[in-house]
Chain A
Amino acid sequence: MNTLYFDNNATTQVAQEVLDSMLPYFRDYYGNPSSMHTFGGQVYRKIEEAREQVALLIGADPDEIIFTSCGSESDNTAIMSAIETNPAKKHIITSKVEHPAVLNFCKHLSRKGYRITYLPVDNKGRLEIESFLRAIDDDLAIVSIMYANNETGVIFPIEKIGQILKERKVVFHTDAVQIVGKLPVNVKDLPIDMLTLSGHKIHAPKGIGALYVRKGTRFYPYIIGGHQEKGRRAGTENVAFIIGLGKACEIAAKCMQKEVDFVKQLRDKLENGLLNNCPDASINGDRESRLPNTSNISFEFVEGEAILLRLDEYGICASSGSACTSGSLEPSHVLRAMGVRNTAIHGSVRFSLSRYNEEKEVDKVIEVMPEIIKDLRLISPFGRERLIGKACTS
């Protein structure tokens, strides 16, 4: 059975060119880039080339790129660095809809005496700037706000937030793993100090990420040890993966515009096709300001996991905000923060596309989905009537 992959916000297929660029560095050029000999030294040069490729994609200086093991490490590093370099400040601002790499790290810090403000979002998933303005104070160590949300694709006003913070000289970090490679990002025009990106969201492998740190930003390493990455991140370089990330960034920079148009057109076709053919379905998130590849749709009165497993029968891969798919049995914190009705959260499905999707795959989803939803609604005791259930008060 063919795989119809619509879960690219979870992870992406490694591009063939990326894999090809990596393989020699397992087999043939296995030297340590820190070694004195030519055999190792040539590897060092390839790493610096990759650093340039990553820098180029986001308009940074190569010196401003630190390679890490993943997006989560970059996020943790950024926040830790800010609080290590501002030991007197005990306040952190983030949002309610961050990735767990930021959210749970902040929760961890709150147990260590830090005060965390979690900014709310409105019913379209847009950040409430008013509450951000109210939360700013002199005790602020860092603001960490994602650039685009992984579940809804909603893009946050990073430029606006950065401008407000610039005057106050507060460290501003943005987790940009979902937007880098999907839309143009240029740190030269953005008033940010640190930015997280991740390899496996842009057709590089899992296990490689990067942190952009603007020149002049005070930095403190998270992993302490050797002198790698100019003392900013210890540990022998993950050579092949760094080279793969460089290649993926090079490809992303080259085909960005073409890809954006292509993916957006497929996404819109999918979205409209589903909305037109499935009753009681609605989009979660601001359609005006959204990643071009993401569509989060709620199908009322059915449960997300059941939808996913039925889709799985056709080889279609998507994800859901339903409690039953989360492992923790808690429904999506993002949709909850948006105030999406519980009945709609349980039946939410996220489709996220990439340049490797084809129109016929979209057609297949539009073809099978209405039947799946109908079948599951026939099993459900709630049918199609809108019902207000009893609220959970515990």
Chain B
Amino acid sequence: MWDYTEKVKDHFLHPRNVGEIENPDAVGIIGNIVCGDALKITLKVDKKTHKIIDAKFQTFGCASAIASSSVLTELLKGKTIEEAQKISNQDIADYLGGLPEEKMHCSVMGREALEEAIKNYKGEIQPIVLQEKIVCKCFNVSEEKIRKVAQENHLTTVEEITNFTKAGGACGSCLGEIEAILKDVWSIKEPIKIDTSFPKKLTNLQKIALIQDILEREIRPRLQADGGDIELIDIEGNKVIVGFRAMCVSCPMGGITLKSIEDKLREVVGEEITVVEE
């Protein structure tokens, strides 16, 4: 069992400032659900004095992650942005009376979320959206991204969107939705029709082509970016057999990578897909 201080337990069991501020002046998001912890802070800031009037958080994570977030929001309230910038992860840990060594990353996460929020306040970055609406599930492209890319590049056709974002390039089930978004972007007032019909049952050939396509176009580039690689060995019915290559061979997170590939294939091709290592 972790040796948590009374202060950690208190902030875990009675977290302060849980929630989300409406129309926040700054948002900071860090982490994701797959990796086990994620934190979102929203701030209300007095634009004249740059003083933080209110701070709220939402956290997915263990007790120390929740306690660190709670403390962070407490520390932020009443401080100016300049003062807030000076809060370190050690300040968060100290406020909690210390954290177990293995849990220090929870305080670091708090500090990182704060950095994101400050950058966002200064207009340097847009926060990543945790619950953004994903339009193209094959390539994980959000509605926001499609809108942004369309406006910035004056894209008017679905084909252009696919070329610029890959959205709609695989299973094609979101093409109707992309079209609706485009019409909305360019203010063509027409009732938006969203294609929610379930994709048709794939033939074996279509399935194999789709799996190859996803591996080639999405998964391999992502692994290669980290010095790894993967090879498609065979497809037996719904069993996709792959082999790790390069850095992936020795990567301790292999199981997780395999799982994320499976998740992706299941999402696009069908729930019955399993991915195994050769």
Report which A residues bind B (CB closer than 8 A).
120, 122-123, 301-306, 309-310, 313, 322-325, 327, 329-331, 333, 336-337, 339, 341-343, 346, 378-383, 385, 387-394
The residue in chain A whose Cβ has the minimal distance to the Cβ of B130 is A381
Docked Cα-Cα span, A306 to B68, in Å, equals 13
- A-B residue pairs, 5 tightest by C-beta: A391-B260, A324-B62, A381-B58, A305-B62, A389-B34
Which of A306, A333, A382, A390 lies in contact with B63, CB distance below 8 A?
A306
User: Could you give 21 example pairs across A and B, Cβ below 8 Å?
Assistant: A301-B33, A303-B60, A303-B65, A306-B62, A329-B102, A341-B259, A342-B259, A381-B29, A381-B131, A382-B33, A385-B131, A388-B134, A388-B140, A388-B264, A389-B35, A390-B34, A391-B34, A391-B256, A393-B222, A393-B225, A394-B226
Q: Which of B36, B260, B261 has the most CB of A within 10 A?
A: B36
Grouping DSSP codes into helix (H, G, I), strand (E, B) and loop, the A interface class, with mixed when no group exceeds half, is loop
A380 touches B60 (CB 8 A): yes
| Chain B residue nearest to A310 in the complex (CB) | B13
Q: Which residues of chain B are near A394, meaning CB under 8 Å?
A: 226, 251, 253
Q: B112 at the A/B interface (Cβ < 8 Å)? A: no
Give the complex CA separation of A309 and B260 in angstroms. 29
Additional A-B contact list (6), CB under 8 Å, known A342-B260, A388-B137, A391-B222: A301-B33, A303-B36, A303-B60, A380-B59, A381-B40, A389-B33
Provide the B16-45 mask, 1 if CB < 8 A to any CB of A, else 0.
001000000000010011111111100000
Interface of B toward A, CB cutoff 8 Å: 2, 4, 9, 12-13, 15, 18, 29, 32-40, 58-63, 65-66, 102-103, 130-131, 134, 137, 140, 222-223, 225-226, 228, 251-253, 255-257, 259-264, 267, 274, 276
Smallest CB gap from B218: residue in A: A391
Of A324, A379, A382, the residue contacting B18 (CB under 8 A) is: A379
Assess the B263–A391 pair: CB atoms within 8 A: yes
Q: Is the interface of B mostly helix, strand, loop or mixed?
A: mixed
A153 to B252, CA, bound (A): 25
Q: From known contacts A336-B256, A393-B222, infer whether A382 and B38 are also in contact, taking CB-CB under 8 Å.
A: yes
Given contacts A389-B34, A391-B34, contact A339 B262 (CB under 8 A): yes
Q: Which residues of B contact A122 (CB under 8 A)?
A: 274
Q: How distant is A236 from chain B, measured CB to nearest CB, in Å?
A: 33
Please name all residues of chain A whose beta carbon is closer than 8 Å to the beta carbon of B13 when the two chains form the complex. Answer: 309-310, 313
The residues of B that contact A324 with a CB separation of less than 8 Å are: 36-37, 61-62, 65, 103
Contact for B36 among A309, A331, A333, A379, CB less than 8 A: A331
In angstroms, how far is the closest chain A Cβ from the Cβ of B144? 15
Query: How many whole Å from B71's CB to the nearest CB in chain A?
Result: 14
The reply to whether B34 and A306 contact each other, CB–CB distance below 8 Å, is no
Complex Cα distance, B2 from A327, in Å, reads 9
Residues of B with C-beta under 8 A to A391: 34, 222, 256-257, 260-261, 263-264
Q: Are B253 and A322 interface neighbours, CB within 8 A?
A: no
Known: A388-B134, A391-B222, A392-B253. A301 touches B60 (CB 8 A): yes
Nearest-CB residue, chain A, relative to B15: A379
> Which residues from B are CB-within-8-Å of A120?
276
Q: Smallest CB–CB gap between B268 and chain A, Å?
A: 11
* Residue pair A337, B255 in contact (C-beta under 8 Å): yes
A342 to chain B, nearest CB (A): 5
Contact A302 B34 (CB under 8 A): no
Chain B residue, CB-CB nearest to A387 = B33
Bound form: Cα–Cα A387–B267 in Å: 11
Instruction: Return the contact of A393 from the options B18, B130, B228 (Cβ within 8 A).
Output: B228
Residue of A nearest to B32 (CB): A389
A83 to B130, CA, bound (A): 52
- Closest A residue, CB atoms, query B29: A381
Residue of A nearest to B105 (CB): A329
Nearest Cβ in chain B — how far from A44, in angstroms?
40
Please indicate which of the listed interface residues A305, A323, A331, A393 has the most CB atoms of chain B within 10 Å of its own CB.
A393
B140 touches A382 (CB 8 A): no
Chain B residue at minimum C-beta to C-beta distance from A131: B276
In the assembled complex, the CB of B222 is this many whole angstroms from the nearest CB of chain A, namely: 5
Using Cβ atoms and an 8 Å threshold, which residues of chain A touch B63? Answer: 305-306, 309
Q: In angstroms, how far is the closest chain A Cβ from the Cβ of B239?
A: 10
Question: Which B residues touch A327, using CB under 8 A?
Answer: 102
Q: How far is the CA of A342 from the CA of B137 in the complex (A)?
A: 18
Known A389-B33, A393-B222; contact A379-B59, beta-carbon cutoff 8 A:
yes
A343 surroundings in chain B (CB, below 8 A):
33-34
A337, B274: Cα distance in complex, Å? 12
Chain B residue at smallest Cβ distance from A120: B276
Q: Give CA–CA (A302, B60) in the complex, Å.
A: 6
Complex: chain A residue closest to B137, CB-CB: A388
- Chain B: which residue is nearest A385 at the CB level? B131
Select one of B61, B131, B259, B260 contacting A303, CB under 8 A: B61
Residues on A with beta carbons closer than 8 Å to the beta carbon of B40: 381
Nearest-CB residue, chain A, relative to B255: A336
Q: Point out the residues of chain B lying under 8 angstroms from A336, CB to CB.
A: 255-256, 259
